[in-house]
Each structure stands twice: as C-alpha cells, then as structure tokens.
A and B are shown apart, each in its own frame.
Chain A
Amino acid sequence: MDYGFSEAQELLRASVKEFMVNEAPLAHVREMEENSTGFAPGLWRKLAQLDWIGLDYPEKYAGLDGSFLDVAVVMEEMGRALFPSPYFASAILGGHTVLAAGNDNQKEDLLPKVVRGETILTLALTEPSGSYEASGVETTATAASGGGHVLNGTKLLVPFAHVADRLIVVARSDGQGTAETSISLFLVDPKAAGVTITPLRIISGEKQSEVGLQNVKVAAADLLGTLGGGWPVVGDVLDKAKVAMSAEMVGGSQAALEMTLNYVKNRIQFGGPIGRFQAIQHRLADLATDIESARWLAYEAAWEISEGQPASAAASMAKAFISDVYVRMGRAAVQFHGGYGYMKEFDVQFYFRRAKASEAILGDQYANRELAAQQMGL
C-alpha cells in the first residue's frame, strides 16, 4: 500500500501547477470563454514542448511511456485552473481511441502529431438521445458501393470539434448484430463534404459543438479498428475519460474550496470574518471531507487503469461520486460568496458552471451508477 506519488509525479504536479498559475490564471479562462477558438494555440504548443500531451503514450509515438496516474496528476491541475485546451478531447478521447483501435499506419500517421500538439483529434460520440450506451448510437454507417462508408446522423457536445483536424465518429454500421456488436469507428475530415460543425453555447462556456453528418463519404482506409468492433474500444476509452475527468473535477472542487476559504476568512460581517460561523465551518468541513474522498476514488481508479486492471466499475463510481461533490462544492462556493458569487464579473461562478457541465458529460450520476451496478453483476 502506497498513498504517495513518485518524486517524478510530484515534480510533474509542481510544474503543471506553476505553469497554470503563470500562464493560465482565471483571467485567461474568462478570455477564452469569449473567444471563438476557445484555447490559446501558443499555450498548447508549450504544453507539447513540455511533453505533457503524450505522457502516457508509447515512446515510438513520441510519448513518454508514463502511466495513467501521470495523466490524473495533469488533469487535476488543469481542473484546478479550469484550463481551456484540447487536451481532454485530443490526448484522451481521440488519441486513446486511435491507440486502442488504429492499425499501424493510422497510429504512425496520427499519434506523433497528436503528441506534438500538431493534430487535434476528438471523439464524436454523444447523440441527441443523450445515452452513453451502445443502443444510444443512431448515426448510421452504410457500406458504399465503391468501398468505404457513408455516414448520416447528428452528434452533440463534441469537444473542440470546431478546431479538430480529425473527428472520430462512432456510428452504427449496417448488417446483423446487437447494439454492441454493430458499432464502428471512422476517421472523418471535418472539412469533408456533408460535415457541418456548429458550436453550442453550453453552461460552462467550454467549446463543444454539434456535428452534422449528411451523406459523408469515408474511405475504407479510414475505418478505425474492425467493422462492428468499435464499442469495446469506446467502452475502454470512456473508462479512461471518466477517470481523467474525475481527476479534473477533484482539482476544480479543491480550487473552489480554497477560493471560498480565502473569502470567508477575509469577509468581515458582524465584526469578524464570516468563516468563524459554524453554519459555514461545518458545511465546508463536510465538503473538504467529500473532496478528500473523491480524490482517492479518482486516484484508485487511475491506478487500476495504470495497472491494466478492469476499471469500468471504479471509473463509473468515481465519476458519479465526484460529480455530486463538485456540484455541491460549486453551489456552496457561490452561496458563501454572497452577491459576488453569482456575478459574472467575479470568478467563483466559473467553478459552479463547470461543475454543472462536467456532471452531465460522459454519463450523469444516474447513468454511471447504473453502469456500475451492471459491472458489479447486480
């Protein structure tokens, strides 16, 4: 049993934290929310130069061959800063899908560029149904007469699709099979005919889009993995994504807690700081305990992934638990800041809005608990 990070991981955390403090304060988050690109390409290049995009990628794809715990460390610090970047979309969702399902050509072609920050990938999974189960995928992939496929459907909340170089579209291929065995993955050029990308205005201000697919032709070479073999890959990537996001939410919760502590220690009412009142103290003590609990659920799940153990149940439980905690913390943060809490001119509301968005993405609490129940054999 070892509850400590390695020295290298501690160093990594300190470096990412320092980077965020110096390069991406909340003023940057505010700026990127207003900006249509939604991230700073200059910072993204720096991230690549620091080797943080490919931490857990194999060396042959320009990665560092690190563990998923390294990813959790980075995500936690990014979450603390609410750092706007394509990291999650490209390195986690997109890159890991290619890593798991791609053939050698696809991997050699795409992954080094992903790791170097030159190519941005994203995963077009969510649909209007809002379901993260295989049966929720209604986008169709019809075999084309001259080879390849034709895609039709609508994808929602696709992160960083508006700047992506490639979309990975999850679609139902025709033919026989169950909901789970008829899903395939396709690499799609966002500039291809029939693809429309419309940014959505979402509660957190993060850049996520609607992706329309109307008779989009995909070459046979752009099938990722086997025909009908897509869902296990998506499941595996979703586990990683949930754990990465859990770590991110832990960082966000912790930052909201610290911001609130700082406020209640300095806000004077009735002749003293409001943080002396037990009405505030006990609620924050409970939240600090919840965040600590959430943190170790996230780390344990990340460790399971790094060990190559089945982590679906742990990932779903962590995502569900931490979503509750983040929202609870976000609400308390606004509440204890009083009027400054709900004004956009002030910063704490960023965390509240991000918590609400994170809670809904990759399956809400209800969906994730049901998935965990299935994993537990209930």
Chain B
Amino acid sequence: MRFKFTEQQDALRREVKDFLEKEWDEEAQLRAEEAGELASGHSPTLHQKVASKGLVALNWPTEYGGRGWTPIEMAIFAEELGYHKVLDGVYRNTMIIGNSICHFGTDEQKKKYLPDIAAGKTLFSIGYTEPNAGSDLASLETRAAEDGDEYVINGVKVFNTGGHIASYCWLATRTDPDAPKHRGISVFIVDLKSPGITIRPLHNVADGHGQNELVFQDVRVPKENMVGEKNRGWYLMAKALDIERIRTSPSGRHQRVLEMLIEYCKETKRNGIPLIKDPLVRQQIVQLYTEAKAARLISYKVIYQQSKGEIPDVPASMAKLSGSELSQKIAHLGMQLLGPRSIIHGSSKWSAMNGELEHMVRETITYTISAGASEIQRMVIAGRGLGLPRG
C-alpha cells in the first residue's frame, strides 16, 4: 500500500500545473470570458494549446499519436484541470470519443478522425439523452433506418453537450425497434452540418450555454459512419465509461475552493474576530476538508483498479455519488460562511470571494444529475454492490 505517486507522475503533475498556470491564468480566463468562451462551456483557444502539448490523445496508443498514458496519469491530468478551473465537458467528450474510435473504429474512421482530434481541430459532442430516455437511457427512440447506402435519422436529443461548437455528434440511435432495448442500438458519427439538423440552445442556471436540444429530421448518414457492429452500440457506449470513470477533476476543484475559503476566512473579520477563529467555522472547514480527502481517495481507488485491468463499476458509482454531492455541499456551506454578500455575482465589487461560490452553487447543482443522477448511482450500489433485490 502506498499513497504517493512515482517521481515521473509527480513530474507530470508539475508539467501540467506549469502549463495551466501559464496558459489558463486569470488573464486568460478573463479573455475567454469576454470572448463568450466560458458561457459556451469550452475554450477553443485553450483547447488548441492543450492539443499542441499532446494532451488530447493522452491514453491513445502511440501509433495513433497518443502518449500511451495509463488511467493514473489521466487522473492526475484531470485533477489539475479541475484545480485550475478548466471547463472540461467538451474536452472530455472529445477524449472519450477519440478513445472509443481507437477501440472500435474501422481503419478508415481512425484515419479520418483521430489525427484531427489529436491536433485539436475537431471537437465531438455526445447525443445520448432524449426527452423520454434520461436515466433509462437504453429506452432511447431516435430512429436510424437503413436506406440503400445510408441511414435516415429521425428523433430528438436533449442535454447534448457542445453540439453548438463541435463538428460531429457521437449519436446513439435505435436500429432495431423490435429487439430487446439494449440490443437494438447503434452508434453513428454524424456531421453536424448535415441537412435536417436543428440545434436549439439550452441555458443552465449557471448562465452557461453548454448544452442543446438537437433535432434530427430525415438526416442522411452514410453507412460507413456507423461505429462498431450494428445493434451492438450499447456495449460500445459502456466502454466509453472507462474514461467517464476517471473523475478526479472535482477533487482538484474541491481542493482549490477549500484553499480559497480558508484564505477568505483568515482575512475576513466578523464581530471583530477573524472567521477562521470561530469554532463553528473551523469545524465546518475541517469537515469539508476531510470529506474532500475521502472523496479523492476513493476516486483514485477507482483509477487504481482500472490500471489493474479491473472494471470498478460499483466503486465508480460510489466515487461519483460522494464527489458530486460533496461539490454541492462545499458550495452551499461555503456560501453560508460568507454571509449575505455570498449571493452577489462576481462581477460586482461587493461580491464575496469574487463570486466564486455564488457561481459554484449554480454550477454544481447539475453535478448530481448529469452522467448518472445520484439516485441512479445509489441504485447501482444497492443492486450490483450490495446485492439488494429489485423493487
């Protein structure tokens, strides 16, 4: 048992830290905000720089231009992204898709997409969720019907991340409506410029337009854009979870925000004494810090198991559940510590802690919903983990 990283891994963390401190400092973030990049959930400027460092193709085999990283290096990188407040939704999706193409793509698909993904020229968005298929994703209804050399796609996707800035959509469709629901799904790479696609923006409570409604009306997609076998799409989607399970980015963020909160409580006096000397404040900060430590430990445990070739589904649910719930707890309790000025937006000189927590509380309200709601994680833990019977 050993709770430290190798020297190479520590060096990698320093490399990523140095890179982000330089390329994603306050000034860069301000520029990105002014350019509307932050509201769209993705900074193309930063993405270019990340790509030029070879940090998109991290875990791909070296033959496809990857760095051949293991999940541990990926996790270190993700943790630093979180610490440095990089909005990584679109970036993550692109990484997930790139990884899946490495595994399941045809040689033509690999040649066509991988170099551009690695170079940061191509972004992918994911089209899974539908109005009637959220937590029960396998009941998705978007239809892809065979017609000569093409498939014709009709349906609606919601909460699609990044469709407004991506070139392609990684789209889950139903290709066999008569088969059991998990066995009639196929995945396509769809060019988002195809005729028949309407993209309608959705704006979340954190003032971000990262997600969309995508409407497909008789959209024609060449057959060669299908990834993997027909009707086996569900299993291919499950593979993408390998990267989805690398969830150390929230840990980085927790650490950063707790550091800021401690700093604020040291500098701010209330009723004549620094907040940090208030026994209740001390209790809450240590409690949050301890929970953050625990959440980080179990996130890395998932990574460790992955690096051993295991599929840690239940531990991953535990890590997702505790990490996302904790993000909200830190934001909420943090706001309470900050007092009434906590509700003022960061653009005002009267905001507390530059509005960091006012924004965080709105941003993190999504965390316990997306990528498997807390209730779904509990179902996985109770069913698969604890062997409790289905209701």
The residue on B at minimum CB distance from A300 is: B3
Residues 263-278 of B at the A interface (beta carbon under 8 Å): 265-266, 276
Q: Is B336 an interface residue (CB 8 A)?
A: no
**Do A3 and B1 contact each other (CB < 8 Å), given the known contacts A276-B391, A288-B386, A289-B322?**
yes
A373 to B265, CA, bound (A): 13
Residues 1-43 of A at the B interface (beta carbon under 8 Å): 1-6, 9
CB contact between A281 and one of B9, B303, B379 (< 8 Å): that residue: B379
Chain A residues, Cβ within 8 Å of B279: 370
**Do A296 and B294 contact each other (CB < 8 Å), given the known contacts A285-B382, A288-B386, A370-B282?**
yes
Chain A residues, Cβ within 8 Å of B295: 293
Binary A-proximity of B136-175 (CB < 8 A = 1, otherwise 0):
0000000000000000000000000000000000000000
A4 to B2, CA, bound (A): 8
Chain A residues, Cβ within 8 Å of B382: 278, 281-282, 284-285
The answer to whether B389 touches A282 (Cβ under 8 A) is no
**Do A5 and B1 contact each other (CB < 8 Å), given the known contacts A281-B379, A317-B289?**
yes
Chain B residues, Cβ within 8 Å of A265: 387-389
Chain A residues, Cβ within 8 Å of B285: 373, 378
Residues 2-23 of B at the A interface (beta carbon under 8 Å): 2-6, 9
Chain B residues, Cβ within 8 Å of A289: 298, 318, 321-322, 381
Binary A-proximity of B359-388 (CB < 8 A = 1, otherwise 0):
000000000000000010111011101111
CB contact between A321 and one of B6, B265, B291 (< 8 Å): that residue: B291
The residue on A at minimum CB distance from B380 is: A285
The answer to whether B294 touches A294 (Cβ under 8 A) is yes
The residue on A at minimum CB distance from B290 is: A317
A277 to B379, CA, bound (A): 11
CB contact between B289 and one of A5, A282, A376 (< 8 Å): that residue: A376
The answer to whether A281 touches B300 (Cβ under 8 A) is no
The answer to whether A2 touches B2 (Cβ under 8 A) is yes
The answer to whether B290 touches A372 (Cβ under 8 A) is yes
**Do A261 and B388 contact each other (CB < 8 Å), given the known contacts A317-B289, A370-B282?**
yes
Q: How far is the CB of B50 from chain A (nearest CB, A)?
A: 24
The answer to whether B1 touches A284 (Cβ under 8 A) is no
Chain A residues, Cβ within 8 Å of B387: 261, 265
The answer to whether B388 touches A276 (Cβ under 8 A) is yes
Residues 284-302 of A at the B interface (beta carbon under 8 Å): 284-286, 288-290, 292-294, 296-297, 299-300
The answer to whether A297 touches B293 (Cβ under 8 A) is yes
Q: How far is the CB of B179 from chain A (nearest CB, A)?
A: 28
The answer to whether B286 touches A288 (Cβ under 8 A) is no
**Do A3 and B304 contact each other (CB < 8 Å), given the known contacts A299-B1, A372-B286?**
yes
Q: How far is the CB of B170 from chain A (nearest CB, A)?
A: 30
Q: Is A369 an interface residue (CB 8 A)?
A: yes
Binary A-proximity of B303-326 (CB < 8 A = 1, otherwise 0):
111000000000100100110000
Q: How far is the CB of A88 from chain B (nearest CB, A)?
A: 22
Q: Which range holds the interface residue count of chain B?
A: 35 or more
Q: Which of B1, B262, B297, B378 has the most CB of A within 10 A?
A: B1
**Do A373 and B286 contact each other (CB < 8 Å), given the known contacts A69-B1, A281-B382?**
yes
The answer to whether A286 touches B378 (Cβ under 8 A) is yes
**Do A285 and B381 contact each other (CB < 8 Å), given the known contacts A1-B304, A378-B282?**
yes
Chain A residues, Cβ within 8 Å of B375: 282
Binary B-proximity of A342-378 (CB < 8 A = 1, otherwise 0):
0000000000000000000000001001101100101
The answer to whether A1 touches B2 (Cβ under 8 A) is yes
**Do A1 and B4 contact each other (CB < 8 Å), given the known contacts A288-B318, A317-B290, A366-B283?**
yes
Q: Is B219 an interface residue (CB 8 A)?
A: no
Chain B residues, Cβ within 8 Å of A251: none
A297 to B296, CA, bound (A): 10
CB contact between B389 and one of A1, A275, A373 (< 8 Å): that residue: A275
Chain B residues, Cβ within 8 Å of A299: 1
Q: Is B287 an interface residue (CB 8 A)?
A: yes
Binary A-proximity of B65-78 (CB < 8 A = 1, otherwise 0):
00000001000000
CB contact between B297 and one of A297, A366, A372 (< 8 Å): that residue: A297
Extra contacts besides A265-B387, A281-B383, A289-B322 (4): CB < 8 Å: A281-B382, A293-B291, A296-B294, A370-B286
**B residues within 8 Å of A by Cβ?**
1-6, 9, 72, 262, 265-266, 276, 279, 282-283, 285-287, 289-291, 293-295, 297-298, 300-301, 303-305, 315, 318, 321-322, 375, 377-379, 381-383, 385-391
Supply 8 A–B pairs (Cβ within 8 Å), ascending by A.
A1-B3, A3-B301, A6-B1, A281-B379, A285-B382, A286-B378, A303-B1, A370-B283
